[in-house]
Structures are given as C-alpha cells and as structure tokens.
C-alpha cells in the first residue's frame, strides 16, 4: 500500500507504523489471546544452522533451539488495551546468495518489539511501542533502540486519522530510511478512507516536522495505497510513492500484492480479528531509480491461532 498505513488498523504489523492502530478482535468484551507461527523460519534455521546460532549442541537441545523460531508473535486483548510481542523480525536487505531462502546475516539485521494500545473510547486509541535493533552497515554491526507513540481517531465508519512520532537511538537512526522513509524524531500522519464495503484508500505524509536537509532526508513525502477485500478469501493491495534523491532526482516506487485464504473467515463470530488474515501473501515492489530498476519480492506464509 505504498507504506500509507499510519491510519490502518492491523495486528502485530502495526508496530512498524503506528502503535495506536494495533488491534485484534471484533469483540471488546472478552479476553482474546493469539499467537502467530512462522513455519518457514525453523526449516531454514535447521538447514543453515551456522547463521542461526544452532551449529553447536546436539539432539534435543538443537531441536528446542530451532523451534524457538516458530513463534513469530504473541498478542492478547482485554476490554481496555491490546498488548503484543514480535520476535526475530528480519529487516529488508538486498541479498545475493544464490538461495531462495537464506539466513545469512540474520542476527546482524533483525529486531524484537513490544506494543501496547489503549482504547480511550470507541473513537480514540493511543499506543506506544519499542524495539531492540541490530543493524549491519558497511560491515559494522550497530545496536540500539526505537520508541514510537501514536494516536488513532475514528470519527465515523467512513474515515480515520492516524498520527505517529518516532525516535531512534543515534546508532540506528537511519535503519528504516530505505523502505519506510522514516526520519529520526519525525512526526508522520495518515488518512484512511472507506467509501464502500471492502474498499479502502489510504494517504500518508512522512516527516512532517523535518527539514529537507540531506542529513535528515526529511522532505515531506506523500504515500498512497488501496486495498480491496470484497471477494471472499482474496485481498488485493497496491501503492505508490516518490522518493526524493540528491539534487533534483527522484525514484518512483510502485507495489502490488495479493493475499489468499483469509483465516479470519474460518473463525467463529466472537473470535474474529477486525481485519483480513491471509494465510499466503505475496507482494512485488518496483523501484525505478534514475539509473536502474530494482525489483523486490516479499512472500509471507503464516498461521495465527
């Protein structure tokens, strides 16, 4: 969706853009607990043990250490707040390993996060999230933290507004520059518009409080996206934004994706999420720079119980 999701409610993925949009069940009156499983990462870890700290130990210990990568996140909801924990989230890197799945540099480019979202009323949410980050830059590993604060306002069922402020430790302040376009100590805002059932259009403005200096890359960038969930077990998304480069050069970034088999539709009425939960998702991103075209592929397979 072009990264235009500051005002879009989601589950654990909301940590990245606005903790106030982290939301789980449709039912506010009951305790709601869930955990998300990643079936791919344990397989990769077991076959590439040297990249996951599994090249030592034997037998049962090795199996237990491999299975710890199965649990991607744990979330639960009460009638007042939602809490979530995200584990071993890998950052986007351009890898050239000759393998479809590769764990190379996994421990040098990942983060773990926690989020809390409080429902002040049916129309206002506030949230806070934090992350511990390891980031490799120019053959040097940097470690630091990130904390973000957010608010989501829902005046009616046709639109909602999200605002998020994010603050990075100095050592990792640029680690989300490439894809998310988030500057350190920046304010970001978004609007989600729902004209018809199963259709949403979203708009974000990045770095409202930043200057256009090269050090902060804080030029106010506009991001836009859409999502269609009208057809059962099928979600379609797309997005666009233009990235300001040095001088008067720009890159144009387009994205398109599809989600299949909505696990939410297989749950009972009182235990459903308030958003689609595709079992299989695929996205392709085209980055048109002045000199070259880059293609990025993102594949997600996951269970949520």
Give the per-residue pLDDT at 195.
Answer: 94
The pLDDT, as a whole number, for residue 29 is 63
Those residues whose C-beta lies under 8 Å from the C-beta of residue 96, and which sit 6 or more positions away, are none
On whether the CB atoms of residues 269 and 19 are closer than 8 A, the answer is no
Q: What is the pLDDT of residue 56?
A: 65
Length of the chain: 305
Return the beta strands (E) in the chain as ranges: 32-37, 71-77, 81-90, 110-119, 124-137, 140-156, 159-168, 186-193, 199-205, 222-228, 234-244, 250-262, 278-288, 293-301, 303-304
CA nearest 94: which of 1, 178, 210, 150? 178
HSE-up (13 A, CA, CB side) for residue 260? 7
pTM of the full structure: 0.85
Domains of the chain and CATH, by start = 12-304 (2.40.160.40)
How far is 221 from 75, CA to CA, in rounded Å?
32
Give, as one character, the DSSP assignment of residue 302.
Answer: -
How does strand 110-119 pair with strand 81-90? antiparallel
Give pLDDT, residue 219: 66
Going by the DSSP 8-state scheme, the letter that residue 9 receives in this structure is -
The pLDDT profile of the chain, 305 residues, written as one tens digit per residue, is 888 999 998 888 788 889 999 887 766 666 778 888 888 888 888 888 887 777 666 667 777 878 888 888 998 888 888 899 999 888 766 666 666 677 777 778 888 999 999 989 889 999 999 999 888 777 788 888 999 999 999 999 999 999 999 998 888 887 777 777 888 888 999 999 999 988 999 999 988 876 655 555 556 789 999 999 989 899 999 999 988 777 778 889 999 999 999 888 887 776 777 778 888 999 999 999 888 898 888 888 877 77
Cα 21 to its chain centre, rounded Å, is 12
Tokens, residue 273: 């999420």
Q: How would DSSP label each residue in 224-259?
A: EEEEE--STTEEEEEEEEEEE-STT-EEEEEEEEEE
CB atoms within 10 A of CB 65: 18
Round to whole Å and give the CA distance between 133 and 128. 17
Q: Which residues, at least 6 apart from 90, have a Cβ–Cβ distance to it below 8 Å?
A: 106, 109, 110
CB atoms within 10 A of CB 73: 23
Report the Cα 237 to chain-centroid distance in Å. 15
With contact defined as beta carbons under 8 Å apart, do 252 and 16 qualify?
no
């Amino acid at each position: 969706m072009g990264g235009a999701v500051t005002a879009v409610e989601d589950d654990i993925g909301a940590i990245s853009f606005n903790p106030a949009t982290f939301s789980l069940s449709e039912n506010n009156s009951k305790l709601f607990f869930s955990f998300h499983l990643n079936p791919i990462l344990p397989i990769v870890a077991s076959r590439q043990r040297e990249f996951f700290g599994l090249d030592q130990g034997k037998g049962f210990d090795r199996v237990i250490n491999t299975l710890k990568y199965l649990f991607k996140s744990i979330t639960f909801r009460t009638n007042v707040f939602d809490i979530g924990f995200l584990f071993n989230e890998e950052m986007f890197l351009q890898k050239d390993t000759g393998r479809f799945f590769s764990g190379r540099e996994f421990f040098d480019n990942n983060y773990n996060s926690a989020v809390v979202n409080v429902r002040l009323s049916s129309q206002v949410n506030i949230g806070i999230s934090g992350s511990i980050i390891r980031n490799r830059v120019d053959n040097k590993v940097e470690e630091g933290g990130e904390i973000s604060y957010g608010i989501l306002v829902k005046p009616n069922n046709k639109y909602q507004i999200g605002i998020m402020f994010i603050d990075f430790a100095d050592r990792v302040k640029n680690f989300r520059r490439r894809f998310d376009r988030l500057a350190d100590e920046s304010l970001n805002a978004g609007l989600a518009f729902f004209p018809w059932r199963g259709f949403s259009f979203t708009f974000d403005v990045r770095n409202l409080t930043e200057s256009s200096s090269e050090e902060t890359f804080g030029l106010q960038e506009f991001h836009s996206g859409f999502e269609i969930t009208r057809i059962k077990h099928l979600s379609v998304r797309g997005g666009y934004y233009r990235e300001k480069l040095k001088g008067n050069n720009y890159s144009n970034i387009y994205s398109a994706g599809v989600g299949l088999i909505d696990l939410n539709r297989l749950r009972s009425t009182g235990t459903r999420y308030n958003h689609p939960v595709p079992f299989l998702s695929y996205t392709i991103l085209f980055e048109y720079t002045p000199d070259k075209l880059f293609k990025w592929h993102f594949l997600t397979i996951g269970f949520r119980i």
